[in-house]
């Protein structure tokens, strides 16, 4: 009987179960402990201790918060669109799960090695916006509707430079398989895409491309200073105003899961994924360590930015995308294309 | 059918929203940006404000009437509850009005201590206003830095009078306690500490490009508009008018000190921001001078046992944290006032909001609301 689960079609089933359990735990724990990290980080930046009462050094705080959210009543206010209102939190969380399935955490730790992994991440990543839009719309709350309208224009504005950056990366790497993209960056930090472009002359503006990616990532995940959808001093809690209990908790989890996905993609595309920065100490568990070190460093920067900067103006946010990010990312795209094809052209002429 | 009003929007040309395409947004009385119980009834066209009408009165406490049916000494603690962030200034105005009426001489040492505490209070008040405003703009950290600095001031105040927020330190004819070396040394140490902090705030917040973009050119109130609504304080000085009660109607011993009245002509939110930041530096200057000159001596003048004001009309205005605060006592010779008028700055400072916010986008309007630095109990009294 046991053999069935470790061979043939049974193996796929076992993998699926392991994947589901592991990723549910991964997303849940990440969301819970990133909240704690965020609050601790905020405390650190603001010269106060942060949560430190529940458990040793406040480590049980997220568990208690999770239990609190689960046992709270999920209120569906009268007048709301019941179906969409209940559906929106799930739409927020599920695409993030799908994205995580394709991410290679180490050489042999991944959910699915898909040839179009990059495409899948970005197609599922774009669904998250629907959740906020539908949640805001279904709430029948004026603040929530304003927030829904904002999130749509913000996401349209930032998908474009984000995808232009991704196309640039695609031209450099030549593959959509995330595992292969990481494989190309082996052998020390100077082989990472963010630096490699400079000395191989494929795209000397690669650091700029990374910054554009990072800014777009902040905007896509609704993080400060671009947290227009949840601008608490303007729109109370934006699209989440009417949500209570765990349906609100799911939005929260989705937000953090999206941050994990975005930072993972950033790590894979630009920072060498699970490759060691010094060439040695790579492979196996080291890969996992390097990957998470890089990913959590990016997440730390995200938290750092949130607690340092004020929120941008809404039209300033759109201007930044349409007037600066899109032209610059188009330019890097064209530059990369030209530089990639230049050797061929020269060989053809001479 | 009523024709919709033509409104020029901040973002572009003239648009007009028919009533069926606009909606009413009831901002407050419980809203994070309202800083208390201010309600703003907004008619919105999308995110554009076509009309924003402040609705006040949610924390009306009848301070004026209370001042008319109790003795002056009994009303004194009330004055520190009107604007709880600038309590010293408010007690100063009331105490000053009574002293003016009863012709009570205040000893010089008491006047010096009043100036020192008033200026410390001004810094504390601006710090809270600054921090809360940046929080409105989405920067959540500066308010905790501001509270950290303010804590030092509150500790000093607690040491001299026991209270941390609503002081009753100024009394008719002087002060309730003399200050000791702990307070004087603490204030002296505070000056260089705060200068260092202000430099840090400039680097962290003032020069931040995001903040500048949010404040520059937003919520312009020119001098003419300020004059029409009776706006005073940093808001007026942000419109380029260097009006400060400490200079315009000198009171206490302010003429003895050298200080500037910072004012910026731009009239936008950034000008009001810079005025407050500069004012903190000027307050530090005044504190420094006062600490150098403070004489020894009594802290209480001769005050009659039963305080009665002669029949007449007595005014005393001070430059409070948010503008000109004036107490007017009309006395008919009894031990209570016949009429007590409190002229509070926030009421006047809120008034131009309706006109200035027309055609603004919601976040900008709230940034401007923050720049007015309102204390709601001060509006409602």
pTM attached to this predicted model? 0.84
Closest alpha carbon to A100 in A263, A327, A241? A263
Contact B33 A227 (CB under 8 A): no
On whether any CB of chain A is under 8 Å from the CB of B273, the answer is no
* The pair of three-digit structure tokens given for residue A216, joined into one six-digit string: 């777009």
User: Domain B63-375, what architecture?
Assistant: Orthogonal Bundle (1.10)
Confidence at B42, pLDDT banded by 50, 70, 90 = confident
Task: Read off the pLDDT of each residue in B124-135 and give the average, rounded to a whole number.
Answer: 91
> Residue B366: which of A146, A234, A309 has the nearest Cβ?
A234
pLDDT for residue B123 is more than 90: yes
Check: CB of residue A38 under 8 Å from CB of residue A303. Answer: yes
Higher-scoring residue by pLDDT: B31, B2: B31
Nearest CA in chain B to A48: B144
Contact B47 A310 (CB under 8 A): no
User: Tokens 């990543």 — which residue?
Assistant: A125
Phi, psi of B320, deg, nearest 5: -80, 175
3-class DSSP state of B49:
strand
**Bridge partners (DSSP) listed for residue B336:** B71
Task: Read off the pLDDT of each residue in B235-260 and give the average, rounded to a whole number.
Answer: 88
Confidence at B124, pLDDT banded by 50, 70, 90 = very high
Nearest CA in chain A to B147: A46
CA pair distance A75, B305, nearest whole angstrom: 63
What is the overall mean pLDDT for chain A? 83
Q: Tell me: cis bond preceding A225? Omega within 30 of 0 counts.
A: yes
- Which residue, among A238, A309, A315, A324, would best test binding to B if mutated, counting the most B CBs under 10 Å from its CB? A309
Check: CB of residue A343 under 8 Å from CB of residue A335. Answer: no
Residue B17 pLDDT: 55
Chain A residue numbers touching B211 (CB-CB < 8 A): 310
Check: CB of residue B213 under 8 Å from CB of residue B367. Answer: no
**Strands of chain B, DSSP E:** 7-8, 14-15, 23-27, 39-45, 48-55, 170-171, 174-175, 312-320, 323-331, 339-343
CA pair distance B214, A235, nearest whole angstrom: 17
On whether any CB of chain B is under 8 Å from the CB of A108, the answer is no
On whether any CB of chain A is under 8 Å from the CB of B216, the answer is no
Nearest CA in chain B to A234: B363
Contact B141 A45 (CB under 8 A): yes
- CATH code 1.10.645.10 region(s) in chain B: 63-375
First to last CA, chain A: 68
Higher-scoring residue by pLDDT: A345, B254: B254
pLDDT for residue B2 is more than 50: no
Chain B residue numbers touching A144 (CB-CB < 8 A): none
CA pair distance B324, B247, nearest whole angstrom: 12
Instruction: Note the pLDDT tens digit of each residue in B324-365.
Output: 999 999 998 888 889 899 999 999 999 888 888 888 888 888
> Residue B32: which of A150, A236, A312 has the nearest Cβ?
A236
Contact B145 A46 (CB under 8 A): yes
> Residue A310: which of B11, B32, B210 has the nearest Cβ?
B210
What is the overall mean pLDDT for chain B? 86
pLDDT for residue B204 is more than 70: yes
Chain B residue numbers touching A314 (CB-CB < 8 A): 47, 361, 363
Contact B32 A149 (CB under 8 A): no
CA pair distance B137, A313, nearest whole angstrom: 9
Q: How far is CA B31 from the centre of its chain?
A: 21
- Residue-by-residue DSSP string for A124-179: HHTTHHHHHHHHHHHHT-HHHHHHHHHHHHHHHHHHHHHHHHHHHHHHHH----HH
Residue B190 pLDDT: 92
Query: Is the ipTM reported for this complex over the cut 0.85?
Result: no
Contact A233 B361 (CB under 8 A): no
Angstrom CA distances, B174 to A262, B89, B302, stand at 64, 14, 9
Burial (CB count within 10 angstroms: exposed 0-12, middle 13-18, buried 19+), residue B269: buried
First to last CA, chain B: 40
On whether any CB of chain B is under 8 Å from the CB of A45, the answer is yes
C-alpha torsion angle, residues A227, A230, A232, A237 (rounded to 10): -170
Residue A17 pLDDT: 83
Q: Name residues of chain A where pLDDT drops below 50.
A: none
Confidence at B299, pLDDT banded by 50, 70, 90 = confident
Angstrom CA distances, A79 to A75, A139, B20, B167, stand at 12, 8, 20, 49
Residue B18 pLDDT: 60
Within 8 A by CB and 6+ apart from B255, the residues are none
Instruction: Note the pLDDT tens digit of each residue in B68-83.
Output: 888 888 899 988 888 8
Contact A310 B139 (CB under 8 A): yes
Residue A4 pLDDT: 67
- Which residue, among A45, A142, A233, A318, would best test binding to B if mutated, counting the most B CBs under 10 Å from its CB? A233
> For the packed helices B269-293 and B108-136, what is the interaxial angle rounded to 10 degrees?
150
Task: Read off the pLDDT of each residue in B30-50 and give the average, rounded to a whole number.
Answer: 83
Confidence at B3, pLDDT banded by 50, 70, 90 = very low
Instruction: Note the pLDDT tens digit of each residue in B81-93.
Output: 888 888 999 999 9
Question: Which residues, numbered 32 to 51 in chain B, qualify as contacts with chain A under a Cβ-Cβ cut-off of 8 Å?
Answer: 32-33, 46-47
Q: What is the DSSP letter of B35?
A: S
On whether any CB of chain B is under 8 Å from the CB of A231, the answer is yes
**Bridge partners (DSSP) listed for residue B15:** B7
Chain B residue numbers touching A218 (CB-CB < 8 A): none
Confidence at B121, pLDDT banded by 50, 70, 90 = very high
On whether any CB of chain B is under 8 Å from the CB of A48, the answer is yes
Contact B364 A313 (CB under 8 A): yes
Question: Which residues, numbered 261 to 320 in chain A, qualify as contacts with chain B under a Cβ-Cβ cut-off of 8 Å?
Answer: 306-316
Residue B327 pLDDT: 92
Closest alpha carbon to A24 in A97, A88, A76, A85? A97
Residue A247 pLDDT: 85
CA pair distance A213, A122, nearest whole angstrom: 13
């Amino acid at each position: 009987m046991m053999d069935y689960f470790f061979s043939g079609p049974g193996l796929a089933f076992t993998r699926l179960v392991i994947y589901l359990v592991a990723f549910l735990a991964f997303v849940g724990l990440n969301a819970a402990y990133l909240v704690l990290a965020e609050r601790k980080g905020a405390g650190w930046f603001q010269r106060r201790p942060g949560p430190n009462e529940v458990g040793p050094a406040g480590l049980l705080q997220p568990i208690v918060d999770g239990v609190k959210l689960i046992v709270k009543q999920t209120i569906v206010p009268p007048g709301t669109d019941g179906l969409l209102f209940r559906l929106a939190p799930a739409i927020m969380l599920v695409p993030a799960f799908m994205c995580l399935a394709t991410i290679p955490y180490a050489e042999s730790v991944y959910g699915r090695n898909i040839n179009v992994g990059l495409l899948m991440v970005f197609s599922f990543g774009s669904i998250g916006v629907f959740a906020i839009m539908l949640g805001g719309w279904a709430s029948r709350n004026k603040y929530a509707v304003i927030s829904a309208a904002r999130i749509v224009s913000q996401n349209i504005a930032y998908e474009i430079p984000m995808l232009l950056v991704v196309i640039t990366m695609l031209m450099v790497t030549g593959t959509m398989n995330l595992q292969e993209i990481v494989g190309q960056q082996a052998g020390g930090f100077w082989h990472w895409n963010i630096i490699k472009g400079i000395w191989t002359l494929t795209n000397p503006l690669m650091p700029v491309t990374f910054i554009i990616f990072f800014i777009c990532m902040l905007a896509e995940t609704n993080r400060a200073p671009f947290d227009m959808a949840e601008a608490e001093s303007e729109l109370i809690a934006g699209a989440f105003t009417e949500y209570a209990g765990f349906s609100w908790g799911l939005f929260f989890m989705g937000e953090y899961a999206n941050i994990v996905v975005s930072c993972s993609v950033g790590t894979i595309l630009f920072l060498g994924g699970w490759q060691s920065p010094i060439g040695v100490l790579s492979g196996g568990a080291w890969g996992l360590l390097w990957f998470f070190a890089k990913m959590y460093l990016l997440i730390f920067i995200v938290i750092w930015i949130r607690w340092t900067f004020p929120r941008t103006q809404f039209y300033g946010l759109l201007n930044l995308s349409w007037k600066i990010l899109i032209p610059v990312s188009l330019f890097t795209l064209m530059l990369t294309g030209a530089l990639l094809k230049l050797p061929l052209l020269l060989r053809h002429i001479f | 059918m009523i024709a919709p009003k033509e409104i020029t929007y901040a973002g572009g040309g003239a648009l007009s929203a028919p009533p069926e395409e606009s909606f009413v947004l009831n901002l407050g009385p419980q809203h994070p940006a309202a800083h208390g119980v201010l309600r703003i009834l907004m008619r919105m066209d999308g995110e554009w404000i076509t009309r924003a009408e402040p609705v006040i009165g949610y924390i009306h406490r009848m301070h004026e009437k209370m001042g008319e049916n109790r003795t002056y000494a009994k009303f004194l603690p009330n004055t520190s509850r009107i604007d709880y962030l600038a309590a010293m200034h408010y007690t100063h105005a009331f105490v000053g009005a009574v002293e003016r009426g009863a012709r009570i001489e205040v000893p010089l040492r008491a006047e010096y201590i009043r100036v020192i505490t008033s200026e410390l209070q001004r810094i504390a008040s601006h710090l809270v206003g600054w921090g809360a405003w940046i929080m409105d703009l989405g920067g959540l950290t500066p308010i905790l830095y501001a509270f950290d600095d303010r804590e030092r001031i509150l500790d000093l105040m607690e040491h001299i009078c026991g209270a941390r927020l609503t002081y009753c330190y100024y009394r008719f004819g002087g002060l309730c306690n003399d200050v000791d070396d702990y307070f004087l040394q603490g204030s002296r140490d505070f000056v260089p500490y705060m200068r260092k902090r202000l430099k840090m705030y400039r680097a962290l917040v003032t020069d931040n490009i995001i903040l500048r973009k949010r404040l520059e050119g937003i919520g312009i109130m020119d001098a003419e508009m300020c004059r029409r609504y009776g706006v005073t304080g940093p808001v007026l000085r942000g419109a380029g008018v260097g009006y400060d009660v400490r200079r315009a109607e000198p009171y206490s011993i302010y003429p003895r000190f050298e200080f500037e009245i910072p004012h910026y002509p731009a009239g936008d939110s950034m000008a009001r921001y810079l005025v407050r930041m500069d004012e903190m530096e000027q307050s530090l200057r005044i504190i420094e001078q006062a600490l150098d000159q403070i004489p020894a001596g009594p802290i209480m003048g001769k005050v009659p046992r039963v305080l009665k004001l002669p029949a007449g009309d007595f005014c005393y205005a001070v430059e409070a944290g948010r503008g000109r605060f004036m107490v007017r006592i009309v006395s008919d010779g009894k031990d209570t006032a016949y009429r007590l008028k409190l002229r509070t700055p926030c009421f006047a400072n809120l008034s131009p909001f309706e006109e200035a916010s027309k055609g603004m986008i919601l976040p900008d309007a709230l940034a401007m609301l923050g720049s007015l630095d309102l204390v709601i109990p001060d509006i409602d009294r």
